[in-house]
Chains A and B, each alone.
Chain A
Amino acid sequence: MAPLYVALLVGAVLFGVGLYGALSQTNLVMIMMGVEVMLGGAMVNLVAFWRFLHPETYSGQMFVLIVMTVMALEMAVGFGVGTGRFRAKGSVEMEEARDLKG
């Protein structure tokens, strides 16, 4: 059971670090980095569950592929919003973003 617990503990700590980052940063790019770290922790857990508990069903690996897709989409849409915001206001500081008017 030791490798499963090690992977789950690493996933838990990564989730916590990512949560701290996503909540504490004021810049849009840094907030996205926090979300990436959280999703990384979730992926470690998913792979560990697949490998150590249910390697005969491939839904676990499929789930990881979907999370990777979500990570890429989050980056793409985040940078799209960042570009729009930077064009309109000249900054991607989220403390200044009080509305969604662009």
Chain B
Amino acid sequence: MLLQTVFLAFFGLAAIWFAVVVFRTSSMVRSALALLFSQAAIGTMFLAMQTEFLGVLQIMMMATEMAIMAIFMVMYMMDPGGLSGMDMTHQKRVSIAAGVLGTAVAVGTALLVDWGPIAGVPRPGAQVHDLGIELMERSMLIFETAGVTILTAMVATTAIAIGPRGPRGGVDD
């Protein structure tokens, strides 16, 4: 339990540190890499909590997702290298106040609630088996709905990204 707490604290601090770096650095590539490291640290926290399947899934998903994000950032940002020192923030005081308030409420809830006793954890193989059964039985409808939602989002995203064409006029016309 002590070792688990130490690992959780270490990777938790790493996740927080890299999440802060995301909004502190002016280089967009560094920003994307910091988010990748933050999400990877969260995945490692999952592993420290003996949730192997979700931990590996998180690290793999975020590695690809952030690589794609870095490409989009370089494409769309006016100053991707951050060399001109542009300030791309607004309403700083309100944002800091909201962030601090959100953290305080969440920390207060975490510390004040009596969560009950700590339970033991199933073996990794049993976890994957039982999660598969959960997905294919009780949560089947949710699982299927997620699949349909992904398909809908893919079609909608492509339609938005292509833009208007034809007699109404579009960018390419």
Binding site for B on A (CB under 8 A): 1-21, 23-30, 32-34, 36-37, 40, 43-44, 47-48, 50-56, 58-59, 61-62, 64-66, 68-69, 71-73, 75-77, 79-84, 86-88, 91-93, 95, 102
Query: Among A9, A28, A52, A79, which residue has its beta carbon within 8 angstroms of that of B118?
Result: A52
List 10 contacting pairs A-B, 8 Å CB cutoff, sorted by A.
A15-B103, A16-B106, A20-B95, A21-B22, A25-B88, A33-B69, A54-B119, A76-B154, A81-B160, A84-B160
A102 to B159, CA, bound (A): 13
Binding site for A on B (CB under 8 A): 1, 4-5, 8-9, 12-13, 15-16, 19-20, 22-23, 28, 31-32, 35, 38-39, 42, 45-46, 49-51, 53-54, 57-58, 61, 65, 68-69, 72-73, 75-78, 88-92, 94-96, 98-100, 102-104, 106-107, 109-111, 115-116, 118-122, 127, 130-131, 133-135, 139, 142-143, 146, 149-150, 153-154, 156-158, 160-161, 163-164, 171
Which residue of B has the minimal Cβ distance to A11?
B106
Q: Do most interface residues of chain A lie in helix, strand or loop, or is the interface mixed?
A: helix
Chain B contacts of A34 at CB under 8 A?
23
Cβ of A7 and Cβ of B49 under 8 Å apart? yes
Which residue of B has the minimal Cβ distance to A2?
B5
Chain A contacts of B28 at CB under 8 A?
29
Query: Among B16, B35, B120, which residue has its beta carbon within 8 angstroms of that of A13?
Result: B16
Chain B contacts of A8 at CB under 8 A?
106, 110
Chain A contacts of B158 at CB under 8 A?
80
Cβ of B94 and Cβ of A23 under 8 Å apart? yes
Cβ of A5 and Cβ of B111 under 8 Å apart? yes
Chain A contacts of B39 at CB under 8 A?
36, 40
Chain A contacts of B95 at CB under 8 A?
19-21, 23-24
Cβ of A61 and Cβ of B54 under 8 Å apart? yes
A23 to B161, CA, bound (A): 25
B54: min CB distance to chain A, Å = 5
Cβ of B119 and Cβ of A30 under 8 Å apart? no
B95: min CB distance to chain A, Å = 4
Which residue of B has the minimal Cβ distance to A36?
B35
Which residue of B has the minimal Cβ distance to A94?
B90
The 4 closest A-B pairs by CB, nearest first: A16-B103, A20-B99, A10-B12, A12-B106
